Amino acid sequence: MSSEKIPDIIIGRLPVYLRALQHLSDRGIQTTSSQELGGIVGISAAQIRKDISQFGEFGKQGTGYSIPFLIEKLSHILKVDRVWEVAIVGMGDVGHALANYNGFANRGFHVELVFDNDPGRIGTKVGDFEVHDAADMAERLKQHKIKVAMIAVPAASAQEVADQLVKAGVKAILNYAPTSLSVPEDVHVQYVDPVTHLQRMTYYL
């Protein structure tokens, strides 16, 4: 297995397979097939078999996939068989929703720090988290060795926040601000913009 050569589009589907496998596992189901998985995630069974086979022989003809085994393998490939501490910058509605989101546990992430620059918010609590002053962000991120962060600030501030995150050593940014970010090549950015998702669907209507 040479992970360098796996196309990003395949990597992008693995978390979707992993989520579906974890749902099946939560229901006590131990084995599945590419047909069943395909039905859940809306991807053809052939594509799923092809994607998974890029990483090794994880299934058996006739008996399908062992769910615990495949969860273990995919978690290892995606490096979520550990826990990544995450920072959230911006405690408006989106930041609140992320801080209170209960879907991170057991999926490789734990919110460790939350920040805002509004004096009215700094020092208050959001869920279990104390809101820290964004002015001290770089120092705290370095202290906690944070590599993963989510940006939930207005579009006009997003690039400035991204620059600070990069300087502090963050290597993966999930950006909720509706704007494109410029980052160095070794920093990864994913965008969550409801409009791009909606526009992708209206094409077909």
Measuring CA to CA, which residue among 140, 26, 37, 161 is closest to residue 92?
A: 161
Residues in the site for a copy of itself, rule: CB under 8 A?
A: 3, 9, 11-12, 14-16, 18-20, 23, 39-42, 77-80, 84, 86, 92-94, 96-98, 100-101, 103-104, 107-109, 147-148, 150, 155, 171-172, 174, 178-180, 182, 188-205
- Provide, rounded to whole angstroms, the least separation between the CB of residue 168 and a copy of itself: 15
CB nearer to a copy of itself: give 58 or 109.
109
CB of 55 to a copy of itself, least distance (A): 11
- We find the least distance from the C-beta atom of residue 48 to a copy of itself, in angstroms, to be 13
Q: Toward a copy of itself, which CB reaches closer, 26 or 57?
A: 26
**Least distance between a copy of itself and beta carbon 147 (Å):** 6
